[in-house]
Amino acid sequence: MEVIISKTYDELSKAAAKAVAKTVNSKPNAVLGLATGSTPLGLYKELIRMHKEEGLDFSHVATFNLDEYVGLRPSHPQSYHYFMHENLFNHINIAPHNVHIPSATAGNYRAFCESYEKSIAACGGIDLQVLGIGSDGHIGFNEPSSSLGSRTRIKTLTKQTLDDNARFFKDGEKVPIYAITMGVGTILEAREIILLATGAGKAEAVAKAIEGPVTSMNTASALQLHREATFYLDEAAAGKLEMREYFEWIQANKPGGAA
Ligand code: GLP
């Protein structure tokens, strides 16, 4: 596990974008796992810039999003379908048939979740998974107590997550309480994982994920079991790490100055 601490959110976003670009450049038909939330917005902005100014090519890339609220149509401004198109897909040359986002209006959720897992496998698995983290340590919508072996399924969101995400919804509009999410087991099968976190509100969840025990009570802590997981943090999100100096020491002394 690697921990990269950036001075600013902008720097963090650019560092994460470099990791995504490296994957896409080395494998033009790479399969990316993507996240929503406010945290990856800077990363997506930088990927759009790289596409427009540097020719970063997404024409053969496939994507799988982590999650979606149950009951929101793709045209709903708070749906993750809408978010992804507004903030990334409408601005790059990705082929619409290569975009996969859980369908939150499927009649038969169980069958849909199984078919989502099959589609990921049929594309050869996820090469690089992008994650954010909830203030309770969730990845995707794998709330505390989710099985670390879980697969794509419906989850009931915690009150804390509903409160955290209420800021995106209009006054009086209810945040959906169910979501379809890739499981922790699904996420851990990605060949490489990057988790982005910004702000002091994430510091505790981040410290528990990196330095705490591996536990279903903080599903991001499962990344400790992954061979290629990197946390991209800004200073505020790194604020509660006990090993912070060591993580910075590692970055300053990489063997051979490797990037
Ligand atoms: C939601 C998403 C997560 C995301 C989290 C944090 O719960 N399902 O994938 O990581 O929000 O969001 P933000 O980046 O806005 O803090």
Residue-range domain boundaries for the chain = 2-252
* pLDDT at residue number 259: 52
CATH code of the region 2-252? 3.40.50.1360
| C-alpha–C-alpha distance, residues 184 and 180, integer Å | 13
Distance CA 256, CA 259 (A): 9
Q: Decide if 85 is catalytic.
A: no
CA of 35 to the centre of ligand 1 (A): 8
Residue nearest atom 10 in ligand 1 by C-alpha distance = 132
Structure tokens that stand for 121 in this block: 């496998």
Rounded distance from Cα 71 to ligand 1 centre (Å): 18
Ligand 1, residues at Cβ distance < 6 Å: 35-39, 66-67, 132-134, 140-141, 161, 165
Provide the token pair at 147: 């099985």
Which residues of the chain, if any, have pLDDT below 50?
A: none
Helix (H) or strand (E) holding 55: none
Rounded Cα–Cα distance for residues 51 and 103 (Å) = 27
Global pTM reads: 0.96
The residue behind tokens 């989850």 is 155
Q: What is the DSSP letter of 96?
A: G
What confidence score (pLDDT) does residue 255 get? 86
Q: Which of 143, 164, 192, 235 is catalytic?
A: 143
Position 168 scores a pLDDT of 86
Q: How confident is the model at residue 258, as a pLDDT?
A: 53
Contacting residues for 95 by C-beta, under 8 A, at least 6 apart: 59, 60
User: Quick check: is 171 catalytic?
Assistant: no
Q: Greatest CA separation found in the chain?
A: 55
**Can you give the pLDDT at residue 58?**
98
